[in-house]
């Protein structure tokens, strides 16, 4: 490393520190302040550290709403990501392995899924008519419908790297179609599956708009909705509001620390190929 | 002709197809009809293009349309320009390069609502950290989110802050796919650093540019969370975009009008993205 | 053990005919090699026998049973792929036992059969490794093991040696020949390499553009090629083939003479030529001559022949070794 590279690095880190790290430090500091201290909105060391007090108070708010929200968000995320992996891999597999006139249609739908904003009110109307409006099940299927396109694309391009000889060897070994998929292909999809899980989990966990529309009602609250609700309620209790932001930021941070590589792989998929 | 059963049966596609059709395709198609009605979820009364006419008559709805376009192009342009510059910086072997990449990328993963709330506090006109810091060096800070002329641009700035990491990351992947041979050849031909950037990097990183521009345009046109968390479209309607208008009309019970907004947003995305993709693909052939 | 019979087998992809009507019988216990240039349809034909490709027309029998419409797993065949197609996520043990496991056989039975197969192929010490940790030759053997354990009537090999280096390839040629002798099974082997065909086959089927050009034992094909195509394909260096005036003078449309069937002399002979290029192979030396009438002749002479570039020499065909088509 040259001196120039070293100093450029130091300066860049200083600038990035102010722009990208300080806002998070501000969240952390405000979250542990007292109510009066936090209300000043200043970037300052807390007069008193109230980490545990604020934590328990946030959790207790509105009859442990935040815990319920974490539960709901977890259920939605786990269920929809499971289905997204399974469905995405199955569609990507057939799409890649079986060229036919249908493929163009499926591709058109995939692109539409990536591009078109969901038609909200008609969706509510359909959810209502099948009895899934305001239900976690309905929310899970919504997330699956909206996340499919991305999953299919990732799986399809990964499956293209698995030699077809393997399928044929399995056919000769007497495998049925579902056995080829579940016993030969699916185990080989591990790297891309991890990527899909990580990227989709984060986006579903962070999703605000869709629960806002499709999951109204107290008992269905999700983590992002609590932030939105508390924003109104805690106008004067910034310490609690920021404690909530802190809590919502921690899951992605943990995922980021452990799965940085998979996130990068997923987010940049297609960037090189175009 | 003998038909053999394919080892890749179409029923593999069925579960996904059912969910996608019922919850995405069907509502999208239905929206075309319901946008032509006065609708309360139970009965729909056909009123022709009245909803669309109203959209183009009401100044605040037009404002939303214009804001959407400004928002999408401003975020897309800034992210692609600064994303590329940052990517070049972060692949040049500087000190703490990996850590810097992580720092810039992390906001992408954080809750948009959380970011929105945090910045609306930081941007508080009198007590906010940003304006306190500015006044400390003698600059009177503006009312970032309270000045109607400025609110939309303040949100754009935060969107840029949150999304820059993704653009940078995509550009880094794009840069990694350029063979170092080109740079060595250019050096032998006597190219300066600036020449190399404009004549080698920019043209060869095109696929990444296409991805960044397309993704951020689509994202920008559909943007809702951040705006809703920071201003709820205010002050007045000054930072309303189509997505927030759709939500407001929905809340107010104007389901037909809300759905018309959806169709307009859908058409707007198509009108911008499809010609652009076609243009990008055509230029690709010349390369 | 079984005989394989193809009757008027055809295959077309849309309007493109890839296999244009093939009649062939592979006898029980025979080692039969399909050979031909790339694109001649040899791999397609093998895949049709395996059932991975359907036939557009015709009938196919394996051991007197009509298998034209049978599923691959119901045909009593096993196949070794060019890439070996070992399942990367399974150990050698599970790779070999995969077919039995799919069939839902008891674990103990699978384990016993896998052990036995591994022993025959000297794979016992590798059973718990993944394919990634094996050498090319070992992977090859695992692929064969996966075929053997199915106890097939017919083994199918699709260019199985093309991913190996030269030394390993000749070793595997011997191992496969041994295996054939030991199992006595019918084997059908596809290759583009005429050396593999000559060294291993009981019967060679030369394919060209979707048709059978000639069927015969290696030496039959070498001594009595039925067409200029076969003549040019079997034997290395290639047979010298001439058309036009020279062929007419010999009373045929194509005249051929193998490089090793030309005798050389410095004083007299049928044709006089100038040495343009010399390839020293050690035991043999291959000469490329410029000759005014024939344009170019390739001659194979003993390795120790003392010759120089631009030297003029005479060559004469060995009587009875000329080919006229």
**pLDDT tens digits, residue range A130-151?**
999 999 999 999 999 999 999 9
Q: For residue C253, is it within any domain?
A: no
**Pairs across B and C, CB distance < 8 A:** 9
Average pLDDT over residues A60-72: 88
Q: In CATH, which of 1.10.3720.10, 1.20.1300.10, 3.90.420.10, 1.10.287.110 is domain B45-286?
A: 1.10.3720.10
pLDDT category at B6 given cuts 50, 70, 90 is confident
Asked if A163's CB is within 8 angstroms of C102's CB, the reply is: no
Q: Are residues C302 and C204 in the same domain?
A: no
Vertex B233 angle, CA B218 and B259, to 5°: 60
Q: Are residues C111 and C9 in the same domain?
A: yes
Q: Are residues C49 and C133 in the same domain?
A: yes
Q: For residue C250, is it within any domain?
A: no
Q: For residue C241, is it within any domain?
A: no
A101 touches chain C (CB under 8 A): no
C69 touches chain B (CB under 8 A): yes
Interface of B with A in 93-152 (CB under 8 A): 93-97, 99-100, 102-115, 117-119, 121-122, 124, 127-129, 132
Residue with tokens 């999408």: B72
Chain B touching partners, 3 or more CB pairs below 8 A: A, C
Q: For residue C239, is it within any domain?
A: no
At residue B285, the pLDDT reads: 47
Query: Would the CA dihedral through A179, A184, A190, A196 be positive or negative?
Result: negative
- Of A238, A235, A233, A206, the closest CA to residue A222 belongs to A206
Domain positions in chain A are 65-267
* Residue B287: pLDDT over 80: no
Select the residue from C54, C67, C75, C102 to test the B interface by mutation, using most B Cβ atoms within 10 A: C54
3-state secondary structure of A10: helix
φ/ψ of B238, rounded to 5, equals -65, -25
Q: Are residues C271 and C224 in the same domain?
A: no
Q: For residue C254, is it within any domain?
A: no
Select the residue from B1, B2, B3, B4 to test the C interface by mutation, using most C Cβ atoms within 10 A: B4
Domain at C54, CATH number: 3.40.50.300
Helix (H) or strand (E) holding B84: helix B59-89
In terms of residue numbers, what domain contains C138?
A: 4-231
Question: What residue in C sits closest to B1 (Cα-Cα)?
Answer: C56
pLDDT category at B283 given cuts 50, 70, 90 is low
Note the helical H segments in B110-150: 112-122, 129-136
Q: How many domains does chain C have?
A: 2
Q: Are residues C92 and C179 in the same domain?
A: yes
Q: Are residues C282 and C177 in the same domain?
A: no
**pLDDT tens digits, residue range B130-178?**
888 888 888 888 888 888 889 999 999 999 999 999 999 999 989 988 8
- Dist. CA C21–CA A189, nearest whole Å: 41
Asked if B2's CB is within 8 angstroms of C55's CB, the reply is: yes
pLDDT by 10s per residue, chain C, length 325: 689 999 999 999 888 899 999 999 999 999 999 999 988 999 999 999 999 998 889 999 999 899 999 999 889 999 999 999 999 999 999 999 999 999 899 999 999 999 999 998 999 999 999 999 999 889 999 999 999 998 899 999 999 998 888 888 888 899 999 999 999 999 999 999 989 999 999 999 999 999 999 999 999 999 999 999 999 999 888 999 998 888 888 888 999 999 999 998 888 888 889 999 999 988 899 999 998 877 889 999 988 888 888 999 999 999 889 999 8
For chain A, report the end-to-end CA distance as a whole number of angstroms.
33
- Dist. CA C263–CA C269, nearest whole Å: 8
Asked if B1's CB is within 8 angstroms of C56's CB, the reply is: yes
- Dist. CA B172–CA B97, nearest whole Å: 12
Q: Are residues C215 and C276 in the same domain?
A: no
- C-alpha C99 chain-centroid distance: 27
Question: What residue in C sits closest to B5 (Cα-Cα)?
Answer: C71
Q: Are residues C176 and C75 in the same domain?
A: yes
Residue with tokens 């545990």: A52
Q: Give me the interface pTM, i.e. the ipTM.
A: 0.88
- Dist. CA A148–CA A91, nearest whole Å: 9
A65-267 topology per CATH: MetI-like fold (1.10.3720)
B9 CB neighbours in chain A (<8 A) are: 94, 177
**What letter does residue C239 receive in the DSSP assignment?**
P
C52 touches chain B (CB under 8 A): no
Q: Are residues C174 and C302 in the same domain?
A: no
Q: Are residues C56 and C153 in the same domain?
A: yes
Domain at C293, CATH number: 2.40.50.140
Q: For residue C95, is it within any domain?
A: yes
A177 touches chain C (CB under 8 A): no
């Amino acid at each position: 490393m040259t001196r120039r590279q070293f100093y450029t690095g130091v300066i860049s880190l200083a600038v990035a520190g102010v722009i990208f790290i300080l806002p998070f430090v501000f969240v952390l500091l405000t979250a542990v302040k007292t109510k009066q201290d936090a209300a000043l909105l200043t970037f300052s060391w807390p007069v008193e550290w109230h980490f545990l007090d604020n934590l328990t108070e946030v959790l207790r708010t509105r009859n442990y709403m935040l815990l319920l929200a974490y539960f709901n968000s977890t259920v939605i995320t786990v269920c929809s990501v499971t289905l997204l992996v399974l469905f995405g891999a199955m569609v990507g597999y057939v799409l890649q392995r079986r060229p036919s006139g249908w493929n163009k249609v499926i591709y058109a739908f995939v692109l539409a899924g990536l591009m078109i904003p969901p038609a909200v009110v008609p969706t509510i109307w359909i959810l209502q008519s099948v009895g899934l409006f305001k239900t976690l099940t309905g929310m899970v299927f919504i997330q699956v419908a909206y996340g499919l396109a991305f999953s299919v694309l990732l799986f399809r391009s990964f499956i293209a790297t698995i030699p077809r000889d393997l399928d044929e060897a399995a056919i000769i070994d007497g495998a049925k179609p579902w056995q080829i998929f579940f016993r030969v292909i699916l185990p080989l999809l591990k790297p891309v599956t991890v990527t899909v899980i990580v990227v989709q989990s984060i986006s579903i966990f962070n999703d605000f708009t869709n629960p806002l529309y499709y999951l109204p009602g107290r008992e269905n609250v999700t983590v992002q909705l609590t932030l939105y609700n508390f924003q109104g309620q805690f106008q004067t209790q910034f310490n609690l509001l920021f404690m909530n932001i802190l809590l919502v930021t921690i899951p992605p941070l943990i995922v980021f620390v452990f799965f940085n590589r998979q996130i990068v792989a997923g987010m940049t998929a297609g960037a090189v190929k175009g | 002709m003998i038909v053999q059963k394919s080892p890749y049966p179409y029923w593999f596609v069925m579960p996904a197809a059912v969910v996608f059709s019922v919850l995405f395709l069907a509502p999208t198609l239905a929206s075309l009809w319901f946008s032509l009605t006065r609708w309360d979820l139970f009965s729909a009364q056909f009123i022709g293009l009245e909803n669309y006419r109203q959209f183009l008559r009401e100044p605040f709805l037009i404002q939303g349309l214009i804001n959407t376009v400004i928002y999408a192009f401003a975020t897309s342009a800034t992210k692609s320009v600064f994303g590329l510059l940052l990517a070049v910086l972060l692949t040049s072997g500087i000190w703490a390069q990996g850590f810097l990449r992580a720092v810039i990328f992390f906001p992408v993963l954080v809750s948009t609502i959380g970011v929105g709330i945090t910045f609306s506090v930081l941007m508080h006109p009198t007590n906010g950290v940003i304006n306190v810091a500015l006044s400390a060096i003698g600059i009177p800070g503006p009312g970032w989110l309270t000045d109607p002329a400025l609110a939309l641009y303040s949100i754009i700035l935060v969107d840029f802050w949150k999304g820059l990491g993704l653009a940078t990351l995509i550009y880094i992947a794009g840069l990694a796919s350029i063979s170092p041979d080109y740079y060595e050849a250019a050096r032998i031909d006597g190219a300066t650093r600036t020449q190399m950037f404009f004549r080698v990097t920019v043209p060869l990183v095109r696929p990444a540019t296409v991805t960044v521009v397309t993704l951020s345009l689509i994202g920008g046109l559909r943007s809702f969370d951040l705006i809703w968390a920071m201003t709820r479209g205010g002050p007045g309607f000054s930072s309303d975009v189509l997505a927030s208008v759709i939500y407001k009309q929905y809340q107010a019970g104007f389901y037909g009008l809300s759905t018309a907004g959806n169709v307009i947003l859908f058409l707007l995305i198509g009108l911008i993205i499809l010609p652009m993709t076609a243009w990008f693909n055509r230029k690709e052939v010349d390369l | 053990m079984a005989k394989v019979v193809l009757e008027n087998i055809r295959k077309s992809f849309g309007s493109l005919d890839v296999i244009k009507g093939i009649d062939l019988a592979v006898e029980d216990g025979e080692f039969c090699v399909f050979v031909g240039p790339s694109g001649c349809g040899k791999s397609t034909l093998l895949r049709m026998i395996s059932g991975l490709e359907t036939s557009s027309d015709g009938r196919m029998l394996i051991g007197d049973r009509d298998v034209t419409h049978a599923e691959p797993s119901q045909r009593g065949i096993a196949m070794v792929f060019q890439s070996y197609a070992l399942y990367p996520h399974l150990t050698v043990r599970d790779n070999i036992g995969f077919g039995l496991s799919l069939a839902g056989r008891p674990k103990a039975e699978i384990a016993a059969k896998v052990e036995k197969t591994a022993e025959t192929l000297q794979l016992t010490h590798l059973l718990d490794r993944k394919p990634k940790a094996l050498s090319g030759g070992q992977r090859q053997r695992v692929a064969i093991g996966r075929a053997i354990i199915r106890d097939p009537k017919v083994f199918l090999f699709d260019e199985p040696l093309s991913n190996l280096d030269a030394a390993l390839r000749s070793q595997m040629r011997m191992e496969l020949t041994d295996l054939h002798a030991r199992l006595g099974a019918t084997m059908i082997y596809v290759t583009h390499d005429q050396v593999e065909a000559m060294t291993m086959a009981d019967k060679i089927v030369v394919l060209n553009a979707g048709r059978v050009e000639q069927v015969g034992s290696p030496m039959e094909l070498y001594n009595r090629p039925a067409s200029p195509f076969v003549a040019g394909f079997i034997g290395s260096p290639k047979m010298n083939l001439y058309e036009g005036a020279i062929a007419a003078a010999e009373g045929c449309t194509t005249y051929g003479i193998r490089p090793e069937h030309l005798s050389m002399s410095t004083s007299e002979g049928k044709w006089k030529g100038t040495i343009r290029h010399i390839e020293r192979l050690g035991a043999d030396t291959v000469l490329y001559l410029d000759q005014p009438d024939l344009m170019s002749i390739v001659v194979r002479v003993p390795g120790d022949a003392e010759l120089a570039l631009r030297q003029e020499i005479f060559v004469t065909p060995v009587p009875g070794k000329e080919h006229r088509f």
